[in-house]
Structure 1
Amino acid sequence: MFIETIKRPELLEAIIHSIDEAIHVVDASGITIFYNDRAAQNDGISIHDALGKHVLDIFPSLNKENSTLLKVIESGQPIYQQHQSFTNIRGKLIDTVNTTVPIYSGTKLIGAVEIAKDLSTVKQLSQKLIDLQSSVVSQQKPSLTTGATYTWDDLITQDAQMLKMIERAKKAAATSSPIMVYGETGTGKELVVHSIHQSSKRAKESLIAQNCASLPSTLLESMLFGTKKGSYTGAVDRAGLIELAHGGTLFLDELNTMPLDFQSKLLRVLEDGVIRRLGGSQSYQTDVRFVVALNEHPHVCMEKGILRRDLYYRLNVCLLEIPPLRERKADIPLLMEHFRKKYNYTFQKLVTHIDEDVLELSSRYYWPGNVRELEHVVEYAMMMTEGDAIQLDHLPAYLKQELMNHSSVKREQPERKRSLRKTLEETERTLIKEAIQDAKGNVLQAAKRLEIPRQTLQYKLQKLHITYEEGRT
C-alpha cells in the first residue's frame, strides 16, 4: 500500500522502470501497453518502437506458436522459466528466460505480463571465454581424466524410498569408504556416483569412470594398473586409471561383468592401495576412493558365481539400492515435466504441458528401461509434437501398443487386482516364514530348506521386514 500523499501511478511507473528485469505487458489482443527501460535495452529497441504495436510486429521472428505472451493470452495459463530465442526488429538475436502470467479483471482475461532475464550477454561472454581457452590450449592434448558433471539437484524425485537413499548417500559421501551402488539399467546410478564425488572431500580431484563390461582381464589390468615399456609388444610407460584417480574417485561400472581372476587382483589394491604397473617392478602407493555399480543385486551375482564373496565384503561398506521407476510411480509426472523443459530448450520449442491421459497411461507402463527409457519417450514426443502439448499420438508406437495390450488384459480380467511383483513378494514372504518356522528360527537350516545361500536369506529377511519371531509364530 502507498500513503495518501504519494502519487501512485508516477511512483509505480518509476519503480517498474528501475527494476533490473525486462517487463513487457500486452492487452488481450497482443498490443504492447507497457514496456520498461530494461526490456528496451535487452531487445535493442526504444520504448517508442514497442508501445502500441503488436508483439509479432516488434519481434518478426516469433509467431503465435512460439510467442510466450500470445500463448498465455490464448490459454489463460501461466508459463514459468521458459527459454526463448528470437530476432528483434533490428535483426539482433536475443536469448531470454521468461516468466509469463495472464492478467485478469475478475474472471475476464485482459492481457498478459512477461518478466524476462536476458541471457544474450552471458552467452556472448561464455563464447568469448571458450574461444580464449581454445586459443590457449590449442596445442595441448586432451586430458585423460573425466570429471563429475551431476549433483544431487539432478536427481528428480519425491519418492520416500529414493529420498531415503539420497540421504544415506550424502552421509557416505562425507567419508572415503568404498560404496556399492545397485540399480537396474537406466535408474540413474551414474548420477548418484557423480553426486557422491561432487559432495565429497575429493570433489576438487578427478572422478575417473570405467565400464567393466566385456573387457578381458589383461586389458583391464593394463587400463587400471598401467603399463611398463617393454612389458609386451608396443607397450609404453603409461599410468593406469587408479594412478590417474589418485586423491580422487575411481568409478567401476558394471562390476558384475568383471572377470573373476581380475577381481582377486582388485581386492589386493582395495586392501592396501598399492599397485604395480603391468610388466613393472616398482610399486606405487595410491589414495583412491572406490565406488562400484552393478545392474544385478550383489547377492544374486554371488549366487551366480560372477562376484567374489571376499570382494563383495570388502566393497560393501555402504550399499545403495536405487529403486526402479515402476516402484516410484509418483516421480513419473515430475520427470516428464523435467524432460519437457529440457527438450523445449534443446529443440527451441514452446510445448507448455503434457496431456493428462498421457500421464495416466505412463503411470501404468512397466518402464523396463527406467528413467533413461522415460527420457527417450519424452524426447521422441517432443520431436513429434507441433502444438503446445504432448498428446497420445506423439508417443512411440511400441509404447502405445504396450499400453493397449495392458488395457486389454485389464478388461478381460477385471478381477485380478494385484501386480505380478506384489504376488511374487507375498509368495516369497510366505515360503520364508514357513521355512524359518520349520527350522525353529535357525537361519542356516531355513536357507538349506529353501536351497539358497544363508546370506541371500538374510538379505531377503531384511528386505521383506521379516523378523525371526514372525517365522516362529
Structure 2
Amino acid sequence: MESSLSLTTIWNFCSEAMILTNESGEAFALNRAAMRLFSFTSGSMESVSIFELIPDPSFSKHFKPRQPTTGISLLLGTQELNISVVPFSVSSASYFLVIIKNITEQQNLKYQLQSAKETIRFCEMIFDEMSEGVCAIDTQGKIQFYNKKMGTLDLREPQAVKGKRIFEAWPNITEETSTLFTSLRLAKSLSQREVHFTNTGKAITTVARTIPLKVDGKNIGAVQISSDITEKKHLTEMIRQLQTQGETVPTNQNEDKRKKINNHTRFQFQDIVCSSREMRKTIEHSYRAARSSSNVLITGETGTGKELFAQSIHNESKRRDKPFIAQNCAALPENLLESLLFGTTAGSFTGAVDREGLFEQAQRGTLLLDEINSMSLNLQAKLLRALQEKKIQRLGSSRVIDVDVQIIATINEEPLKAIEEKRLREDLFYRLGVVHISIPPLRQRKEDILVLIDHFIQKHTKKLGVHVKGMDPDIQKFFLDYQWPGNVRQLEHAIEGCLNLIYDEEIITFEHLPPTFRDKMLELLAEPISPSPEGFSYVPQWEGTLAEQLEKIEVLLIEKALQEANGNITKAGGKLGISRQNLNYKLKKYQISF
C-alpha cells in the first residue's frame, strides 16, 4: 500500500506528461501533467485513444512492441512536443508508456536567444564599420565591447581584449586614471577630452566622450566613444599657420618634408616616433604643459629627445608665433653665458657693445636653457631672480627691462642628485619645475625600438640613395637587447652608420654594423654556436680575430644551405633568411663556388 502510494505520488508529480495505453493505443491512465496538457479535469476523461489526442499521422508508426522510440518531435496546435514511446509487457499483454515533454517555452527561449545573438552580431557589424572607436565595460571593469576602430587606435586586436578586465588589458591604468571607471563611479558623463599619442610612428589625436550606462536606473557599465580628429587638427593647424604666417598650403599633404614654422624650430609633436604607453603618456603630459605659460623642466638622459619635446611644447602653445631661442648652458664659460643671456651695454667691459640678450630676443616667446645643471650656481641665482621678478638688466646698465618669456629648462640627470651634488640650486629647481616632464630612457621602452628602426631606415635611405627594406632578425634582436646608453640619438647614428656601408643589399646585416656594435655583438658569440640548419653545428677554433671567425662560420652556413638546396640560390637564401641578391653578394665576397 505504501509502495503504491509512493508510485502514485511520483507518477503525478512528474513534470513531463505521461500516458499509459494498451496495444491498440487506448489510454487508460494519465498523470496530472498529461491532464493539464490535454485540458482534462478529474473525472472528465472517458475512454480516449492516444491517436485522437495526438492526431499526427506519423505518430502511430512509433508504436512497435519491444522497440522504444525517443526524440519524436511533433507540433500540437501551437505547442511543440518532444515524445518518447516505451513498450513493455505485463502477463504477456503489451502496453505503451508515452512520455510527452512540452518544449514550446524552451524552443521560444532558444529562438529568442538566437535572435538576440543575431541582433548583437548585427550591431557589432554596424559598430565595426563606424569611424569612431567604441569601448564598453561592465560594473566589474570587464570589456564587453570593443570595436575595430578602437583596436586600430590602440594597436589591439578586439578579440584579445574582450572579456578581460580593463586593468589586465592596460596594466598601467588605475581606477583613478581610467575615464571609464571614473564615469562609472560618478554615474555621470565626462566631457569631451583630447588625447594625444603616437601609433606606429604617426601622431594621433582623439576626442573621447565617456558615458555611464543605466537600465531601470541601475548602473550596468560605461562606454567610451573616441573620434580620430588627427586630420581635422592637422588642417586646422595649417589654416592657423596660413593666417598668422602667410605660408602657402603644400600641394601634396603626404610629402615627407613638412613646412617649418617660422620661429627657429623644426619639431612638432607629430614628429615624435613611438608606440610605447610610457612615451604616449609623456606626450599627453607635454600637450597639457603647452596650454599654460608656466615654466617647464624636462629631465631625461642624453639623447632622449629633450629639445624635440621643448620645440613641440612651444609649437603647441599660444607662443607658437613668437621666437623660440635655445642655448646650451654647457657650451660656454660663465661670463660669456651671462652676457649672452642678459645682454650687454657699450663700455661695460673691453670690446662690449649694445646688444640684446637671449631674454630680450625671446620676448613673448620661449627660451630653452639646455643642460641647466652645467650653469654655475652663481649664474643660477641671477637666473632665479630674473624668473621671479620677470625683469632683467643688461650687463653694465641700470635700466630695468620687463620680460615676458616662458622658460623651458632641460637637465640630463636626476634633479635631486644634481641638487645634492651642488650642480643645481634647490630654489631654482622648484621655480623651474612648475611643470616637470620626465622622458624615459630607450632601454625602459623597448617596444619603441622597432618603430624607431623603421623610421630611421626610411629617413636615411632617401638621403643616402639606397633601398633597404629592413634588418636581419639577429641584428634586430641584438638591438632590442642592447641597453642604448646614448638612447634614441645613438640608435639613429647606428642606423645611419649601417646604411652608409650598404652596397646593393636590402637587409642590414652584421657586416654593416659600426665597429663598436660589431665588437659588442661578437662578445655574445663567444659561446659555441649551433646554427639554424638542423644537424649542423660548429664550435669554432679560436684562431684569428672574432670578425675572422665569424666570417668562417658564415661561409660554412652558406655552403651547408647551398648543399641542402642543391645549389638553388633562391632556396638557399630562404633557408638563411636573406634575399637572393644578398646571398649573391656574399658568394662573390667570400669567393664561394658551387
TM over 0.5: yes
Equivalent residue in structure 2 for 1:210, among 327, 340, 353: 327
Alignment of 1:186 with 2:300, yes or no, is no
Contact 1:364 1:403 in 2 (8 A): no
Q: Structure 1 segments of 4 or more deviating over 4 A? A: 406-411
- The structure with the largest alpha-carbon Rg is 2
By percentage of residues, which structure has more helix?
Answer: 1
Per-residue deviation, 1:353: 1.9
The letter of the residue matching 2:512 is H
State the match for 2:472 in structure 1.
Answer: 355
SS in 1 for 2:460: helix
Per-residue deviation, 1:161: 1.0
Describe how 1:11-160 pairs up with structure 2 within 5 A.
Answer: 147-160=264-277
Contact 2:460 2:499 in 1 (8 A): yes
SS in 1 for 2:360: helix
TM-score scaled by length of structure 2: 0.44
Alignment of 1:396 with 2:396, yes or no, is no
Equivalent residue in structure 2 for 1:315, among 411, 432, 452: 432
- The superposition leaves residues 408-445 of structure 1 with CA deviations (integer Å, 9 ceiling, x where unpaired) of 5899xxxxxxxxxxxxxxxxxxxxxxxxxxxxxxxxxx
Contact 2:263 2:320 in 1 (8 A): no
Percent of aligned pairs with the same residue? Answer: 44
State the match for 1:339 in structure 2.
Answer: 456
State the match for 1:161 in structure 2.
Answer: 278
State the match for 1:200 in structure 2.
Answer: 317
The letter of the residue matching 2:283 is I
State the match for 2:583 in structure 1.
Answer: none
SS in 2 for 1:402: helix
Distance 2:387 2:473 in 1: 51
Per-residue deviation, 1:404: 2.8
Distance 1:294 1:410 in 2: 44
SS in 2 for 1:186: coil
Which range moved further: 346-355 or 364-373?
A: 346-355
Describe how 1:252-267 pairs up with structure 2 within 5 A.
Answer: 252-267=369-384
Q: 1:281 to 1:409 in 2, by over 3 A?
A: farther
Per-residue deviation, 1:349: 1.5
The letter of the residue matching 1:231 is S
Contact 2:467 2:506 in 1 (8 A): yes
- The superposition leaves residues 299-341 of structure 1 with CA deviations (integer Å, 9 ceiling, x where unpaired) of 1100101111111111111111111111111111110110100
Alignment of 1:300 with 2:417, yes or no, is yes
Distance 1:150 1:178 in 2: 19
- The superposition leaves residues 9-65 of structure 1 with CA deviations (integer Å, 9 ceiling, x where unpaired) of xxxxxxxxxxxxxxxxxxxxxxxxxxxxxxxxxxxxxxxxxxxxxxxxxxxxxxxxx
Contact 1:150 1:191 in 2 (8 A): yes
Per-residue deviation, 1:146: 6.2
SS in 2 for 1:363: helix
Equivalent residue in structure 1 for 2:390, among 261, 268, 273: 273
Structure number with the bigger relative contact order (C-alpha 8 A, sep ≥ 6) is 1
TM-score scaled by length of structure 1: 0.55
The letter of the residue matching 2:453 is M
Distance 1:299 1:406 in 2: 36
Distance 1:407 1:275 in 2: 60
Per-residue deviation, 1:402: 1.2
Describe how 1:282-297 pairs up with structure 2 within 5 A.
Answer: 282-297=399-414
Question: Tell me, which stretches of 5 or more residues in structure 2 are unaligned?
Answer: 1-250, 253-261, 530-594
SS in 1 for 2:401: strand
Contact 1:187 1:325 in 2 (8 A): yes
Distance 1:214 1:384 in 2: 32
Equivalent residue in structure 1 for 2:347, among 230, 235, 244: 230
Q: How many residues align?
A: 271
SS in 2 for 1:238: coil
Contact 1:209 1:251 in 2 (8 A): yes
Per-residue deviation, 1:247: 0.6
Distance 2:475 2:521 in 1: 11
